[in-house]
Amino acid sequence: KIACIGTGKMAQAVIEPMIKKGVQSAENFSVFDVSPKTMEQVHQKLGVKTADSIPELVSGADLVICAVKPQNLTPAFFQELRKSDIRQNAILLSVIAGKSSSVFTQGGFEKVVRSMPNTPATIGEGMTVWSCTPNLTVDERKKIRQVLSSCGKSMYVDDESFIDMATSISGSGPAYIFMLMESMIDAGVHMGFPRDKATTLVYHTMLGSTLYAMETGEHPAILRNSVTSPSGTTASALYELENGRFRTVIKDAMWACYRRSLEMGN
């Protein structure tokens, strides 16, 4: 039995690929959300069961996925958890940014997995970084890896602090990519392309460039130089990016994200 507290985007990003890929059937899932409307939408979309309260949801579950917003991890939330009939060997899988495993061990769970997926997990193309408390057995770790790998690629780290760092790279990374896409599409429209055609150009340029980099294994700088001719169009574009502190802005944004993740943990 798998229970999921919260039914927002990150919850669905974990549940949906598991069902679609046959890792678990929908009938093995139960969900609860403080918003009955959202919970019903997920029930209709994925065919999962619903519960009327956290204690009802968690009772007898083998795996509890916690996907609430960080600000909802209140004393009242943990009181509800403590009221629950939690199985001794139940594993709690957190997908909440900035919250360490110790938050949940204090909340009544002995076995905790902390993870940071991203929204592409919804289509099975996500990147999830995870860590766990030392008391998970080898078999339990294998099962967690299977669950998270259904969402795309998963990466285990021994040191939980790497998850805060990963939040700034892969966790929030899709937002940076989407903003870059948006900027390129808008520029294409400004030049005269119809929006749908500009969108196709940008999407496939992003996709193709990523696949090309992965396939060749070359350093991004080498690939960038291979596109750049002296005094050419690409060189002119890159000059403007460097002049606008493109690299520095990206790095500063990632450091801001990392610091915020640490702040949320405190």
State the SS3 of 164-202. Answer: HHHHHHHHCHHHHHHHHHHHHHHHHHHHCCCHHHHHHHH
Phi-psi region of 123 (alpha: psi -120 to 50; beta: other; left: phi over 0): alpha
- Check whether 102 has a pLDDT greater than 90: no
Annotated binding site: 5-10, 67-70
- Check whether 178 has a pLDDT greater than 80: yes
232 band by pLDDT with thresholds 50, 70 and 90 = very high
- Max mean pLDDT among 25-34, 57-66, 69-78, 182-191 falls in 182-191
- Asked if 255 and 91 touch (Cβ cutoff 8 Å), the reply is no
* 21-25, 61-65, 143-147, 160-164: least confidently modelled range: 21-25
Which residue's structure tokens are 């060997």?
89
125 band by pLDDT with thresholds 50, 70 and 90 = very high
Residues 6 or more apart whose CB falls under 8 angstroms from that of 173 comprise: 118, 127
Domains and CATH numbers, the chain: 2-161 (3.40.50.720), 173-265 (1.10.3730.10)
- Asked if 112 and 132 touch (Cβ cutoff 8 Å), the reply is yes
Q: For the chain, what percent of residues have pLDDT higher than 70?
A: 100
Structure confidence by residue, pLDDT tens digits, 160-171: 999 999 999 999
Structure confidence by residue, pLDDT tens digits, 139-161: 999 999 999 999 999 999 999 99
Average pLDDT over residues 35-49: 92
Annotated binding site for NADP(+): 5-10, 67-70
Average pLDDT over residues 224-251: 97
Structure confidence by residue, pLDDT tens digits, 110-123: 899 999 999 999 89
- Check whether 89 has a pLDDT greater than 90: no
Report the pLDDT value the prediction gives residue 181, as an integer from 0 to 100: 99
